[in-house]
Structure 1
């Protein structure tokens, strides 16, 4: 397996990662103040594993949760 590498200066190279981090910042980071790095780390983990990956309804999946989308894909396969 080879890593995908685009050309230098390609504006679409990190589009997915940039979109994720913009969402993370807007929906979580800018809304809270944490006293310790451990508090922030725990909140970010809960956001990603509890909300972003399981319940959030992105347009990419037709506004269904990723878990529901996976279930549909398994039924089709």
Structure 2
């Protein structure tokens, strides 16, 4: 049925349960911190759902500190890695 509708399944690599850990962590946080805090019904409509998820992703990437990256934001850490890679890249 998926093939008939042009859908490609997304699965982790065989035998690698940590392949998708970061994405699963993000979805877990979204559900816990954003969705469970809302009253029922969760969203008024699709536009409300899209705006809520977009706002959470912005918060998650630019404001929410992560202990796994020395209490920095993912955006800040990514920018630091880009700068480091640029310095180590031969011209």
Same fold (TM > 0.5) = yes
- Pick the aligned partner of 1:60 from 46, 65, 68: 68
- Over the residues paired in the alignment, what is the CA RMSD in angstroms? 2.3
Give the structure 1 partner of residue 17 of structure 2.
11
Alignment partners' CA distance in 1, 2:74 and 2:64: 7
Give the structure 2 partner of residue 69 of structure 1.
77
What stretches of structure 1 move > 6 A for 4+ residues in a row? none
Alignment partners' CA distance in 2, 1:18 and 1:69: 19
Tell me the TM-score normalized by structure 1.
0.71
How many residue pairs get matched?
71
Q: Deviations over 1:12-44 (max 9, x none)?
A: 222111111101100101112211121011110
Structure 1 unaligned runs (5+)? Answer: none
Structure 2 unaligned runs (5+)? Answer: 1-11
Larger Rg: 2
